[in-house]
Amino acid sequence: MKVETKVGLLALVSLIMVAAFAYAMGFIAPFSNTKELNVMFNFAGGIEEGSPVRVMGIKVGKVKSITFDPEHKMADGEEVKLRLTITIDKKAWTSVRKDSKFYINLAGVIGEKFLEISPGNAAAGEFANGDYVRGEDPPRIDQLLSQGYGLAGKVIEILEKNEGSVTNTIKQLDALTTNFNRTLVLLDKTTKNREVSRLLDNAVKISDDMAYFTTNLRSKKAEDTYDLVHKLLFRLEPMDAPAIKKFLQEEGVRARIF
Amino acid sequence: MMTLLADTFWGTFTGPFRRKEFFQQLYFVANRSLFIIVFCVCFAAVVTILESSFHMKMVIQNDAMVPGFAAVLILRELAAIVTALLLCSRVGAGYASEVGTMQITEQIDALKMLGIDPINYLVIPRFFACVLGGILLTVVSNMTCLFAAMMISQAYLGYTPGMFISSMHRFVQFKDVLFAVIKGACFGGVIPLVACYFGFNCQQGAEGVGKATTNTVVVASIAIIVIDFILSYTFSYLY
In 3D space, the residue among B1, B8, B2, B7 whose CA is nearest the CA of residue B131 turns out to be B8
Residues of B in contact with A25 (CB under 8 A): 165, 168-169, 172, 174
Q: What is the mean pLDDT of residues A99-128?
A: 81
Percentage of residues of chain A with pLDDT beyond 70: 92
Q: Do the beta carbons of residue A112 and residue B69 sit within 8 Å? A: no
Q: Do the beta carbons of residue B227 and residue B91 sit within 8 Å? A: no
- The shortest C-alpha distance from B32 to chain A (Å) reads 10
User: In A, residues 26-45, which contact B (CB 8 Å cutoff)?
Assistant: 26-27
Residue among A4, A13, A27 whose CB faces B140 most closely = A13
Q: What is the pLDDT of residue B88?
A: 92
Position A58 pLDDT exceeds 60 = yes
Question: Could you tell me the end-to-end alpha-carbon distance of chain A, in angstroms, rounded to an integer?
Answer: 151
Write down the mean pLDDT value for chain A.
83
Q: What is the mean pLDDT of residues A180-188?
A: 90
Query: What's A27's DSSP letter?
Result: S
Pairing relation of β-strands A113-118 and A58-68? unpaired
Q: What is the pLDDT of residue A235?
A: 79
Confidence of residue B17 (pLDDT cuts 50, 70, 90): confident
Looking at chain A, list the stretches that DSSP marks H as alpha helix, in order from N- to C-terminal side. Answer: 3-24, 90-93, 141-161, 163-191, 194-217, 220-236, 241-249, 251-257
Position A256 pLDDT exceeds 70 = no
pLDDT digits (tens, 9 = 90+) for B74-111: 999 899 999 999 999 999 999 999 999 998 888 988 98
Q: How far is CA B225 from CA A18, A70, B32, B73, in A?
A: 25, 45, 24, 16
In 3D space, the residue among A241, A8, A254, A110 whose CA is nearest the CA of residue B63 turns out to be A110
In 3D space, the residue among B174, B140, B29 whose CA is nearest the CA of residue B88 turns out to be B29
* Cα(B54)–Cα(B45) distance, integer angstroms: 14
Q: What is the pLDDT of residue A258?
A: 55
Residues of B in contact with A113 (CB under 8 A): none
CA angle B34, B37, B43 (to 5 degrees): 140
Q: What is the pLDDT of residue B138?
A: 93
Position A254 pLDDT exceeds 70 = no
Position A247 pLDDT exceeds 90 = no
CA angle B221, B223, B224 (to 5 degrees): 65
Residues of A in contact with B139 (CB under 8 A): 14-15, 17-18
Pairing relation of β-strands A34-41 and A82-89? antiparallel
pLDDT digits (tens, 9 = 90+) for B116-149: 888 888 888 899 999 999 999 999 999 999 999 9
Q: In sequence order, which residues have a C-beta less than 8 Å from that of residue B159 and are 6 or more positions away?
A: B67, B153, B167
User: B6 — contact with chain A (CB < 8 Å)?
Assistant: no
Q: What is the mean pLDDT of residues A124-134?
A: 84
Q: What is the pLDDT of residue A240?
A: 72
Position A252 pLDDT exceeds 60 = no
Q: What is the mean pLDDT of residues B60-87?
A: 88
Q: What is the pLDDT of residue B182?
A: 93
- CA torsion through residues A42, A47, A50, A53, sign: negative
* Cα(A64)–Cα(A38) distance, integer angstroms: 10
Q: What is the pLDDT of residue B179?
A: 92
Write down the mean pLDDT value for chain B.
88
For B36-98, give the DSSP string.
Answer: HHHHHHHHHHHHHHHHHHHHHHHHHS--TTHHHHHHHHIIIIIHHHHHHHHHIIIIIHHHHHH
User: Of the given ranges (A163-172, A245-254, B155-164, B222-231), which has the lowest mean pLDDT?
Assistant: A245-254
CA angle B163, B164, B166 (to 5 degrees): 60
Secondary structure class of A36 (helix, strand, coil): strand
Q: In sequence order, which residues have a C-beta less than 8 Å from that of residue A247 and are 6 or more positions away?
A: A253
User: Of the given ranges (A63-77, A104-118, B30-44, B224-238), which has the lowest mean pLDDT?
Assistant: A104-118
User: Of the given ranges (A10-19, A29-38, A143-152), which has the lowest mean pLDDT?
Assistant: A29-38
User: B170 — contact with chain A (CB < 8 Å)?
Assistant: yes
* Cα(A56)–Cα(A43) distance, integer angstroms: 23
Interface test with A, best of B41, B169, B239 (most A CBs within 10 A): B169
Q: What is the mean pLDDT of residues A46-63?
A: 84
A200 against B182, higher pLDDT: B182
Contacts from A63-68 at CB under 8 Å and sequence distance 24+? A63/A115, A64/A36
Q: Do the beta carbons of residue B148 and residue B164 sit within 8 Å? A: no
Q: What is the mean pLDDT of residues B17-33?
A: 86
Residues of A in contact with B132 (CB under 8 A): 11
Q: What is the pLDDT of residue B218?
A: 94
Confidence of residue A56 (pLDDT cuts 50, 70, 90): confident
Residues of B in contact with A4 (CB under 8 A): 23
User: A61 — contact with chain B (CB < 8 Å)?
Assistant: no
* Helix (H) or strand (E) run with residue A37 in it: strand A34-41
Q: Do the beta carbons of residue A117 and residue A54 sit within 8 Å? A: yes
